[in-house]
Structure 1
Amino acid sequence: MIEAGSRAFWRATLALCLGSVMIFANVYVTQPLLPMIAESFGISPLQAGWSFTVTTLTLGLSLLFYGPLSDALGRRGIILLSMGGAALTTLALSQADSYAMLLGLRALQGAFLGGLPAIAIAYMGDEFDRKALMLAVGFYISGNTLGGVGGRLVGGFVGDSYGWPQAFLVMAAISLVLLGLVIWLLPASSGFSPRALRPRIMLRDLAGHLRNPLLLGAYLVGGLNFFIFINQYSYATFMLADEPYGLSAKFLGMLFLTYLSGTLGSALSGRAAQHLPQPVCLMIGIVLLMLGSTVTLIPTLPAIVVGFLINSFGFFFAHSTASSWVSRHAEQARASASSLYLLFYYLGASCGGFYLAPFWHAHGWTGVIAASLAVFCLTLWISFLLLRAERRRPVLA
């Protein structure tokens, strides 16, 4: 087993962090480019948003397959193949000459991008000892955030200066460099033991998770919160690209630096859960989401930035709590319980744009926020039901 602080630990952890940066940079690179893509192809904001949502949709669906596949065939090879497929698809995106082609490639890219998120924690569990595992997971999650912010900055700055195809070209070059580093750094598996593919058992486990009200509630809270949170950013790019703000793609990319407050929210959620019931922590995060969303209605750029800082903190505070809750309350097959949470999470990201679109077209940003608050009221109520349910049911260690 790889021990914390060893040379192998730092090589493996750095490899997975760099892989995480690559994956999430590619997922989010299109968000600051949405107004540019809409103008280039003569499509609506909702249609432009499909270039983001189709990727999160196929990524989420792929999570259900990569885990069992890696249990049978191994972790490292699938991680590297999926990353390679994603990088090559990004390169192909720079040559897309129609919106249909761009959407098809983004869907394919999402299917490749699911490999690392589905397998990384399992790889760590196979290879690292307990102390090393806890340290490595923290670094890996930091890579998620840095990748999301970095991808948006690359998309915004390169797209603003050279156009959206060149943004994909630069992202492909970065992705190939990161892939090369991961190939060099990631140790071959030594603790992996293959298991036969058993689809029937997998389906039985998934059905059992959905019948558990404590898990289903967390799935709905996590999915619906992300349903709104990530798609608010998409519509905010159209609001801020228009008058009176008139921000270019470069500055729209910088809006996503507000995501970094979520790193603090994630860290503090664990401490808060030591003193408060986890459903109460969920409710705190959701109330902060409601507060931040309301602040963005103040029609000044500083207020909008502050609102998104509050939103990001509140979202990741609740998201980290919900993730931990799922692992804690899964009665069996905890890995598939967590994968199902991520499926709801990414399906939420994929569908939220469709929900917000009519409100955007009818009432602009005010309509988006009103629709957002309605969903947050629902997740607040579900969190309250989880609090009541937990008090009536023994907690699993």
Structure 2
Amino acid sequence: MVEGHAPGERSYRRLLVALFFAGIAMFAQLYSFQAVLPQVSRTFHVDAAAAALTVSAATLGLAIGVIPWSIVADRVGRVPAMAVGIAVATVVGIAVPFLPDFAALLGARLVEGAMAGAVPAIAMAYVSEEVAPAHTARAAGVYIAGTSVGGLVGRIVAAPIADLVGWPVGVLSVALLCAASAVLFVVLVPPARAPRPERGGVARRLVDDLRSPRQLALYAQGLLLMGGFVAVYNYLGFRLAEPPFSVPPILLGLLFLAYLAGTVASARAGALAARRGRLPVLVGATVLLAVGVLLTLVPSLPVIVVGLLVLTAGFFAAHSTAAGWAPVIAPGGRAQASSLYNLAYYAGSSIVGWGVGLAFVGAGWPGVVLAVAALAVAAVSIALVVLLRRTGRGDAIQP
């Protein structure tokens, strides 16, 4: 039995910092287009839902890529697989702004997402294998905090640059920052201590995970909550750019500072789950998400900003809890459990997130709020019915 990294060890600190930068490298390029959707819409003469496909194509590619990446990681090791995926995704991301038409742009984003899928497919399995069991929830929270910073950096850098010199330069600037983060990940990440998983038997491990009601309940959290969350950020900019708000593009980009709430919440959620148990944190965070989206109905910009902060904190706390939980209780392979969670998570981003956009086109912002609130209610119901029943009241509050 290999002893895992623990707080106080230099290797533990390096592991957390490396995964933090991996989250930045992946998420910044994945969501940089979300900050420039109105400009993309005007450039290619497409509506809001079509422009949002630049985000959905990347997350769909990621959903497609996570299972293959989990297989690659079992063969070549967790760290080499993540390093290759980040490197290729960054190269594609640098090329994306130079593509000539909308179809080519969507195709490249699909490939970029599939390569970026190496990180979410493997990171949680790596944490569950390399970190001492008592500290996996906290480590998972730090990694998710890195993904929230990446999402913030991608948007907050792309938006003002796009407003000044055009969205291609804004997106390219983010891709170059991702390249620097990728280098830091490779330099800092410690070699794996755990033995490489056995080859073969991938189908059996996937089936074992898919037959577990608890795993399916956790996958549902990712699908439903991510779909609602990404829809809010996709379409809120369109709402605030119109009267009565008429917020200019350079200020719309500042809305993404709300991601800092997610950075804090995800790290705190990991520590809280370690003390109080994962299920109470998951349910409480989802309730926060629902409260936040309802606040955005108030026709006041300060209240909308508060709602966005509450929603973002709730989402990242719920996501870090569910994502870190899945590989720990996996009946099959840990990498496969993490990959299946991410498959559901990014399917939620690409399919559910786009689908909520149809509600925006048909019913405006109230349609988005109603859809997202319904998704949160469904997620809480599944968690309480399946996770509480399957683990028992005593076990359900354990990390």
Q: What is the TM-score of this pair, normalised by structure 2? A: 0.87
Contact 2:89 2:116 in 1 (8 A): yes
Structure 2 letter corresponding to 1:330: A
| C-alpha displacement of 1:180 | 3.5
* SS of residue paired to 1:297: coil
Distance in 2 between the 1:324 and 1:128 partners?
Answer: 12
Cα distance in 2 for partners of 1:66, 1:372 equals 30
1:46 pairs, out of 35, 49, 52, with: 49
The CA deviation at 1:341 is 1.4
CA distance in 2, matches of 1:44, 1:180: 37
Equivalent position of 2:339 in the other structure: 339
Find the aligned partners of 1:266 and 1:180 in 2 and give their Cα distance.
Answer: 24
Q: Letter of the 2:39 partner, please give it.
A: M
Equivalent position amino acid for 2:43 in 1: S
Say if 2:124 and 2:335, in contact at 8 Å, map to a contact too: no
Worse-superposed segment, 370-379 or 163-172: 370-379
* Partner residue, 1:167: 170
**Mapped contact 1:4–1:135 kept (Cα < 8 A):** no
Q: Does 1:19 align with 2:22?
A: yes
Contact 2:282 2:322 in 1 (8 A): yes
* Cα separation, partners in 2 of 1:36 and 1:127, compared to 1, 3 Å: same
Mapped partners of 1:217, 1:116: distance in 2: 22
Q: 1: distance between equivalents of 2:158 and 2:231?
A: 17
Deviates most, 83-92 or 239-248: 239-248
Aligned to 1:203: 203
Task: Flag the 1:204–1:3 CA change in 2: closer, same or farther, 3 A.
Answer: closer
Equivalent residue pairs, number: 394
Q: Which letter does structure 2 place at the counterpart of 1:23?
A: M
1:196, distance to aligned residue in structure 2 (A): 5.4
Change (3 A) 1:63 1:222: same
- Measured in 2, the distance between the counterparts of 1:266 and 1:176 equals 24
**Closer, same or farther: CA 190–258 of 1 in aligned 2, 3 Å:** closer
Structure 2 CA distance, aligned partners of 1:126 and 1:316?
23
Could you say which residue in structure 2 is the equivalent of 1:72?
Answer: 75
Are residues 194 and 318 of structure 1, via their aligned partners in 2, closer, same or farther at CA, if it must alter by over 3 Å?
Answer: closer
Give the deviation of 1:145 after TM superposition: 1.6
Change (3 A) 1:15 1:380: closer
Q: 2-side partners of 1:269 and 1:117: how far apart?
A: 18
Any unmatched runs of 5+ in structure 2? none
Compare 9-18 and 271-280 and name the one that shifted more: 271-280
Provide, for residues 38-57 of structure 1, a one-character-per-residue CA deviation record: whole Å limited to 9, x for no partner. Answer: 01100011110010011111
Separation of aligned partners in 1, 2:342 and 2:20: 19
Cα offset for 1:278? 4.5
Partner of 2:214: 214
**Which residue in the other structure is 2:243 paired with?**
243
C-alpha change, 1:82 and 1:269, in structure 2 (3 Å) is closer
User: Residues 79 and 116 of structure 1 are in contact (CA less than 8 Å); yes or no, is this contact kept in structure 2?
Assistant: yes
For 2:368, the equivalent position in structure 1 comes to: 368
State the partner residue of 2:31: 28
Query: Mapping of 1:1-397 within 5 angstroms?
Result: 10-123=13-126, 137-186=140-189, 189=191, 191=193, 193-194=195-196, 197-198=199-200, 201-270=201-270, 273=273, 278-386=278-386, 389-390=389-390, 395=395
Larger mean Cα displacement after TM superposition, 377-386 or 133-142: 133-142
Distance, in Å, in 1 between the alignment partners of 2:282 and 2:234 is 24
Amino acid at match of 1:253: G
Distance in 2 of aligned mates of 1:370 and 1:153: 28
Share of identical aligned residues, percent?
Answer: 33
Specify whether residues 129 and 242 from structure 1 end up closer, same or farther in structure 2 by C-alpha distance, changes over 3 A only: same
Distance in 2 separating the partners of 1:320 and 1:17: 13
Can you list the C-alpha shifts for 1:253-290, whole angstroms capped at 9, x where unaligned?
Answer: 21111122223433444565577675444332232222
Q: CA deviation at 1:363?
A: 1.8
Cα separation, 2, equivalents of 1:380 and 1:13: 30
**Amino acid in the other structure paired with 1:143:** G
**Aligned-partner Cα distance in 2 for 1:167–1:355:** 27
Q: How far does the alpha carbon of each residue in 1:117-159 deviate from its partner, in whole angstroms, 9 at most, with x for none? A: 3333455566666789777555433321211111111111111
How far is 1:94 from its partner?
1.6
My pick for the range that moved more, 320-329 or 272-281, is 272-281
Q: Which runs of 5+ in 1 are unaligned?
A: none
